[in-house]
Structure 1
Amino acid sequence: MKSAALKKRHSTGVLKNKLSLDINEVGVANLRVSGHHLVISFADGNFKVFDLKRREPKLICTKSVSQYIHHFVSVVSGQANSNGTLIGLIANKSSSNSVLLIMNHEKDIVKVLDFTVERRQEIDESNGDCSLLPESLPDNIKRDQLKLLSELTGCNVLKFHWDSIDPRLLLIEVGRVTKKQKQTGRESEDWERAVITLFVTQDLSYLFQDIKPLKSKHHGLVGCTAPSVYYMRK
């Protein structure tokens, strides 16, 4: 397929706008609409963001993420938050691991959430990895955040969804690659897949809320409109 078109219609069927896509160069990996924004992600790491509010869709961002991820292989999916300021993309690495890249395309800030990277199990102020957290966090909250992060060691990113209204709220479905051992030698809480809830600031600091194991009756995460979270049932 050399070209395609995306059409936006009113519920009555009236055509609101039409976006022609040239996908001659590299195949489209994923197209996702969030509010008035469309993210088109390409397998080679490029992505485009369009504002769909106008009669003629406006290209507001086009970038590549491959430079930010070591051993990058391909992009799996991408999505903008509800106001279009933050973009999330899942990417595969040559190690068969998958990570989540978050970008503020207006400020050109990027951070990669790679839970497969080993983190120190001995969490304290001096040794903990605080690069993802707000600098102004009180020590007790920072300690709790780092403990929660350590629970995610050895996880792949499977899916993610921004909240449909709150541009800060992000849910990520992760799956364990291997069972993690605590320093005592005992296994951590027994789950294979879980959903992480967190808030993301415009400067890409993260405040993790909780980790909820995915129930056996659920196939996976499909969306979020706080306080509701939507899952596909088996």
Structure 2
Amino acid sequence: MKLVKNYKFIIIISLIIAGCESNTEPILQKVPKPYMSLHIGDIRQYYDDPEGLYLQTKIVDTTHRVDGQKVFVFEESFLSSGVIFKGTNYYFIKNGFFLQTELDTVTNPTKNHENPFLESKPAKIFPKKGDYFMRTAGVQDSEKVFFKTNIIDSLNTTYRTFNNVAEYKVINSSSASLRGAAYYAEGYGHIGSIFISNTDTAKIFIIYSKVDNKEIGKYVTFFDKTPSTNTKHKPLSLLNLIMN
């Protein structure tokens, strides 16, 4: 009888320990993905349906500003009427923002002591609803643009539905005619922009992307071909093209 009692006691203790262990197992939580990341080789291709305009950004290298800040080199292109226009811009991530920058200080530093590299903030890395920020600090009042953030559960585009999308909407601008928004999706980065002026509306949305070697959509190969007429363009930014 004593052995039976001891055996029952061992079983009860074992069950209690097992129950405690199951209750203390860590709960796996979803790790949020950044709304913008930078990797050499990343490609994003867009299409402007009404205008028949193709656009592409490709990260081709890294370099440094004159102050030592590491930046990523974006080769930016758009195809219009059989002509490819190309330019180069520089981006990096710092203090929770995706930033565009110049490599050197502005030609006349006295124009912008507050922001000598003309850093511009297109987006936040982990945005929250209600976030409000100025795009480019230190510029003249006539050039100031402010964004307010909204988080959209899902956004349908012609080619894909994206979940957890940050909408950066222009809510205050010195130009009464400037209206629009840029869209960034969790894990994908910039997926599209809308610009509305008094006379025109431009909408571009992503048709192909390769981010950290993960692909969606179908790659448009004409960017690898040399067109019959290839016109070099001054450095441009797709985000500036749409939002300015």
The TM-score with structure 2 as length reference comes to 0.27
Pick the structure with more helix per residue.
Answer: 2
Ranked by relative contact order (alpha carbons within 8 Å, sequence separation 6 or more), the top structure is 2
The TM-score with structure 1 as length reference comes to 0.28
Pick the structure with more strand per residue.
Answer: 1
Larger Rg: 2
